[in-house]
Chains A and B, each alone.
Chain A
Amino acid sequence: MEFSYTKNLGIGRQVRYDPLISVTLIGEKEIDIYSLIDSGSPSNLFSADYAKAAGIDLSNAKLVEVHGVNGKQDGFLKKVTMRFLGKEWQSDVVFCERSEDHDLLGGEGFFQYFDVSFRYYERKFSISPVPALHWKNN
């Protein structure tokens, strides 16, 4: 499926084009989250507020350290169900404070499951599910 980059007048007042997509986080409830596709991130990183909104219990999550350009912080690693393009999968997600950065879709939780092709020169990108994997649904 083809997507358009989001034109974004950034905080520095410079126009950027960001690969943002809406994915569904599934717990006791569902919530759709616009997240930045980031091949440089090893995992999906979401604001802990989304876990609370989706009814995902983090009390039994694994405590991890998240290191990024804005320093180090604690995070909670939890396997949760996600949905995108009609496919559901079990994804490792690190829930943490995301006030200074975007929610991110990264390697293990997203690129492991989807083929992503960027065509920045057209401000377009395409995403398709990886066919060989066993999805939670079909």
Chain B
Amino acid sequence: MHTKKSITTSLPIQDLDEGKYRGQWLVIAGATGAIVAHADRLEDVQKEAVDRSVENPAFYKVPSTDTHYVSIR
């Protein structure tokens, strides 16, 4: 979260593994698209972003299920 005007990243999230992070909140570094922190609550990943001085962080909530997707197996 930032109080100054953000520079929104245009990068895709790198190495996204929703199975690994299911149900969690992620911090994504704006400069690289890398996942730099994860936690169960948004407040906690926001604090992580501040503590790690992540520039232009973006946040992503990983769904806890994939029932919204059509899957073919």
Contact = CB atoms under 8 A, between A and B. Distances in A.
Interface string B1-40: 1111110111111001111101100001010000000000
Contacts of B16: 6-9, 18
A29 interface: yes
Interface residues of B, number: 40
Contact of A20 (B12, B22, B41, B42): B12
A10 B2 contact: no
Contact of A4 (B12, B30, B65): B12
A29 B2 contact: yes
Interface of B: 1-6, 8-13, 16-20, 22-23, 28, 30, 41-43, 46, 56-61, 63-69, 71, 73
Given A9-B18, A11-B63, 13 more contacts: A9-B17, A9-B20, A12-B71, A20-B60, A22-B8, A30-B3, A30-B4, A30-B5, A31-B2, A47-B61, A53-B46, A99-B61, A100-B67
